[in-house]
Amino acid sequence: MSEHPIKHLAVIGVGLIGGSVARALKHAGFVGRVTGVGRSRENLDRARELGIIDHWTHDIAEAVHDADMVLIAVPMGAYDKVFAELATSLPEHALITDAGSTKQHAMDVARRYLSDLSRFVPAHPIAGTEQSGAEASFAELFEDRLCILTPLGDKDMGGVVDKKAIDAVEAMWMATGSRVIQMDAASHDDFLASVSHLPHLAAFALVNAVRKQGDEAHDPFQFAAGGFRDFTRIASSSPEMWRDIALSNSAALVDKISALQTELADMKTALSSGDGERLLETFSAAKKARDAWLEEHGGSL
Ligand code: NAD
C-alpha cells in the first residue's frame, strides 16, 4: 500500500498552476503518481521530462479511472467541456478540486454536470505569475500564499456537505505550502474582482492607451521605465486566460470598473480645475492604504 496521502493524482491542465501543484506535492512526498491531461503533446512531453507528471493522456476518462484526487487547472472557458467528461468517467471514490480564478462559475458548471456534488471542493490558490505552461511551473509557487476554499454550502447542496472531502482537499493544498482559508464563493468573486481582475484589466487598458498614442514617427514605449514596467507586468499574462476570467466574473467586474472610472473622473475634474489640494488628498489616501497593506501583509496575501 502507498504511504502517500494521495496515491494517484490526475491533473487536468498541466500549466503553470497544475504543474506547480504536482511539483509541490511530489516534493512534499504527498502524492505517489501523477497523470497529466492536456491538449498539447509538446507541453505534456515537457512536463514528463521535467518529472512534473509520470504519465500523460489526452483522455480524461483514462486519467481519472483509478485516481483518488482530480485537480482541474484549465482556463475557466474549458470548465464545461472538462466537467461534461468527468460526469461520465469519475470513479466513485475520487475527490475533485480545482484552481480556477472565479468560484461561482466553477460551482455553477459542477452543479450542471455532477450528480454527486459532495466530492467537489472548489479552491483558488492566490499565487501565480504572468507566465503559462508546464515549463513555467515551480514547486515553491504556493509557499506561504493563501488558498481559498469555497466548499458548497448546505443550501446549495441540499444538505450534503462532505466534511471528509473538505479535510482531504484542505490537506492537499496545505501540502503545497499554502495557507488555507474558507469563504463563500460570492464574497470570493467580489474581493478578487477588486484586487486581481480589475488590476489586470487596468494594465491591459493602460498598455493599449499608450500603444494607441504612438505612430511611426513617435514610439512612447521607448521612454517607458520602471514605473511602467511595474504597473504593466500583468498585461503580459495569457489573453485567453484573462478573457475567460473576466467573462466568468463579469457582473462583479463591471461594478469595479465603474468604481475605477469614478476615481479617474474625480482626478480629471481636479486636473481640469487645477485643484492641487484634491489631487494631494487623493494621492495621499492611496499611498496610506498601500503602505498599510505592505506593512500588514508584506505586499502579498
Ligand atoms: P496555463 O495556460 O499555464 O495552463 C492551462 C493548461 O490547461 C494548459 O496546459 C492548456 O493546454 C490546458 N487546457 C486548456 N483547455 C484544456 C482542456 N479542455 N482539457 C485539458 N487541458 C486543457 O494556465 P494557468 O495559469 O495554469 O491557469 C490554470 C487555471 O488556474 C485557470 O483557471 C486560472 O484562472 C487559474 N489560476 C491562474 C493563476 C495565474 O496567475 N496564472 C493563479 C491562480 C489561479
Of 146-155, 183-192, 272-281, the range with the lowest mean pLDDT is 146-155
Q: Would the pLDDT of 74 be above 90? A: yes
Is 196's C-beta closer than 6 angstroms to any atom of ligand 1?
A: no
Domains 6-183 and 187-297 share a fold: no
State the pLDDT confidence band at 301, using cuts at 50, 70 and 90: low
- Report pLDDT for 17: 98
User: Residues 30-60, buried b or exposed e (16+ Cβ, 10 A)?
Assistant: bbbbbbbbbeeeebbebbbeeebbbebeeeb
**Distance from Cα 98 to the centre of ligand 1, integer Å:** 10
Q: Quick one: which atom of ligand 1 is closest to the CA of 76?
A: 32
Residue 15: its pLDDT value, please? 97
Distances (CA, A) of 275 to 100, 148, 267: 43, 42, 9
From 11, 12, 14, 17, the mutation candidate for ligand 1 (largest count of ligand atoms within 8 A of CB) is 17
C-alpha–C-alpha distance, residues 163 and 259, integer Å = 38
pLDDT above 70: residue 300: no
CB atoms within 10 A of CB 91: 12
pLDDT digits (tens, 9 = 90+) for 205-225: 999 999 999 888 899 999 999
* Ligand 1 neighbour 248 (Cβ under 6 A): no
| pLDDT value, residue 2 | 59
User: What is the third-level CATH fold of 6-183?
Assistant: Rossmann fold (3.40.50)
The Å distance, Cα 60 to ligand 1 centre, comes to 15
CATH code of the region 187-297: 1.10.3660.10
Ligand 1 contact via 241 beta carbon (within 6 Å): yes
Is the CB of 74 inside a 6 Å radius of any atom of ligand 1? yes
Residue 158 has pLDDT above 60, yes or no: no
pLDDT digits (tens, 9 = 90+) for 214-265: 888 899 999 999 999 999 999 999 999 999 999 999 999 999 999 999 999 9
* Mutate which of 40, 44, 72, 74 for ligand 1 pocket (most atoms within 8 A of beta carbon): 74
For a substitution probing ligand 1, which of 101, 142, 145, 191 has the most ligand atoms within 8 Å of its CB? 101
Burial pattern 190-217, b for ≥16 Cβ within 10 A else e, equals: bebbeebbbebbbbbeebeeeeeeeeee
- What's the confidence (pLDDT) of residue 215? 86
Q: Does residue 43 contact residue 134 with C-beta atoms inside 8 Å?
A: yes
Domain ranges of the chain: 6-183, 187-297
Determine whether the shortest distance from the Cβ of 207 to ligand 1 is under 6 A: no
- Rounded to an integer, the average pLDDT of 272-300 is 93
Confidence (pLDDT) at 214: 83
39 lines ligand 1 (CB under 6 A): yes
Least confident of 13-17, 265-269, 292-296: 292-296
CA-nearest residue for atom 38, ligand 1, is: 128
What pLDDT is recorded for position 131? 93
122 lines ligand 1 (CB under 6 A): no
Calculate how far, in angstroms, residue 134's C-alpha sits from the geometric centre of ligand 1.
10
From 154, 156, 125, 118, select the one nearest 142 (Cα to Cα): 125
Minimum-distance ligand 1 atom for the alpha carbon of 13 = 7
Nearest CA to ligand 1 atom 7: 13
Judge if the beta carbon of residue 128 lies within 6 A of ligand 1.
yes
As a whole number, mean pLDDT of residues 38-50 equals 97
How high does pLDDT run on average in the chain? 94
Q: 34: pLDDT confidence band, cut at 50, 70 and 90?
A: very high
In this structure, what C-alpha cell is assigned to residue 107? 460551482
Assign 161 a pLDDT band (cuts: 50, 70, 90): low
The reported pTM is 0.94
* CA of residue 73 relative to chain centroid, distance: 9
Residue length, the chain? 301
pLDDT in tens, 107-122: 999 999 998 888 999 9
29-41: average pLDDT: 97
**What mean pLDDT comes out for the span 48-74?**
98
**Mean pLDDT on 171-182:** 98
CA of 47 to the centre of ligand 1 (A): 14
